[in-house]
Chain A
Amino acid sequence: DIVMTQSPDSLAVSLGERATINCKSSQNILYSSNNKNYLSWYQQKPGQPPKLLIYWASTRESGVPDRFSGSGSGTDFTLTISSLQAEDVAVYYCQHFYTTPYTFGQGTKLEIK
């Protein structure tokens, strides 16, 4: 199974500052035939289901604010929130969908400093 490891486990950032969350996969999740990284990022607020933010590692889902961006390729990926807003407080998860089982990272809890 591909293991997804996020860092840090928790993060406190001041409003308006940049937040960066990292995700590392134990195997390459870049599919060479289409040059796509099979990696998604989700946001989960308390009492709610996960919400898709980013897929193919860097494609923003429709309606997601442009302060959210994804980058990386192969085994190392990053979710960046360029200017933290109060409503961004949540737990963030990465997930690969390269091959089953589609494993998730352990989550990163983002708080306001």
Chain B
Amino acid sequence: EVQLLESGGDLVQPGGSLRLSCAASGFTFSSYAMNWVRQTPGKGLEWVSTISGSGGSTYYADSVKGRFTISRDNSKNTLYLQMSSLRDEDTAIYYCAKGSGYSYGNTPDYWGQGTLVTVSS
């Protein structure tokens, strides 16, 4: 059974930093791309970033490019999202989602329960 467990969400001040983690199990982690998707009541679902199975290719939404960094440790079956220069509009539930394939052009098929990031002073 695929399981994805996010952690690291917190209340942080604007301009601050935070690192999210996603522990994966139930599948061969290195064989699949992984994604971060966030959700806010006002803006709905927003794709944030994708990383290929090897970690060699990464993709970002323009809204986070240059501020967020996606990475993975295939030896630990863990996905990360390093967030810096956080803004109020980054407040959201952040979901970790497994890709249906190794790299680009595949859909998120399994999602974690999410972790809440609140950016506020």
Which of A19-27, A76-84, A101-109 contacts the other chain?
A101-109
Task: Count residues on chain A whose CB falls below 8 Å from chain B CBs.
Answer: 22
Interface centre among A52, A61, A95, by most chain B C-beta atoms within 10 angstroms, is A52
In the assembled complex, which residues on chain A have CB atoms less than 8 Å from the CB atom of B95? 49-50
Q: How far is the CA of A55 from the CA of B60 in the complex (A)?
A: 22
What is the distance, in angstroms, from A69's C-beta to the closest C-beta of chain B?
A: 17
Q: What's the dominant secondary structure at chain A's contact region?
A: loop
Q: What's the dominant secondary structure at chain B's contact region?
A: strand
Known contacts A55-B100, A106-B44; A49 and B113 CB within 8 A of each other: yes
> Any chain B CB within 8 A of the CB of A18?
no
In the assembled complex, which residues on chain B have CB atoms less than 8 Å from the CB atom of A50? 45, 95, 108, 111
What is the distance, in angstroms, from B22's C-beta to the closest C-beta of chain A?
A: 12
In the assembled complex, which residues on chain A have CB atoms less than 8 Å from the CB atom of B27? none
Q: How far is the CA of A107 from the CA of B62 in the complex (A)?
A: 22
Q: How far is the CA of A50 from the CA of B47 in the complex (A)?
A: 13
> Any chain A CB within 8 A of the CB of B82?
no
